[in-house]
Amino acid sequence: MKQESAEDKTREFVDLCHEHGLKVTPQRVTIYREIITMDTHPTADAIYQIVKKEYPNISFDTVNRTLQTFADIGLVDVMEVFGGAKRFDPNVDDHHHLHCIRCGHVIDFFNRTYDELDVPEEIQEEFTVLGKRVVLKGICKACAA
Ligand SMILES: [Zn+2]
Ligand SMILES: [Zn+2]
């Protein structure tokens, strides 16, 4: 399990923005900082609610578009959610998810065996696999208490 400091992450963020010709604006830095400090895989709206405290004039659209841009350059992952708002994942390394069905939080976990899960041959014939993520559904400690 690799842990990077927020400072390292911010430096990486600045480098990646430069690489992709993206201006490093204070709003963008704030949006990125918030998504890496929230460990719940927030929706665009959850991030918007926090960022607008610092930038009251920012629109939801701007936040949403910024997150989409981050996703386009590989800074964050867009999580597959069925029938819910899109969530963003700042962890682009191989990892898996625990999904609490009560509070909706999604917690990261790391597992080498899951990373190396075999893809059945019949799937490989028809589908190019680019990534694997195991989702364990259940009830988190806080909700179970
Ligand atoms: Zn929960
Ligand atoms: Zn994750």
Position 38 pLDDT exceeds 90: no
Six token digits for residue 50: 């926090």
Q: Which ligand is nearest to the CA of 39?
A: 2
Q: How many angstroms does the Cα of residue 123 sit away from the middle of ligand 2? A: 24
Q: Is 90 in contact with 39 (CB distance < 8 Å)?
A: no
Domains plus CATH for the chain?
A: 6-89 (1.10.10.10), 96-144 (3.30.1490)
Position 1 pLDDT exceeds 50: no
Tell me the whole-structure pTM to 2 decimals. 0.77
Q: Which ligand is nearest to the CA of 140?
A: 1
More confident residue, 71 or 38: 71
Which runs of E-coded beta strand occur in the chain? 77-79, 87-89, 96-100, 106-109, 135-138
Q: Which ligand is nearest to the CA of 110?
A: 2
- pLDDT tens by residue, 50-103: 999 999 999 999 999 999 999 999 889 888 676 678 899 988 888 999 989 898
Q: How many angstroms does the Cα of residue 99 sit away from the middle of ligand 1? A: 8
Q: Which ligand is nearest to the CA of 99?
A: 1
Residue with tokens 């350059």: 73
Contacts 24+ apart (CB under 8 A), 21-28: 22/69, 22/73, 27/51, 27/55, 27/58, 27/62, 27/66, 28/66
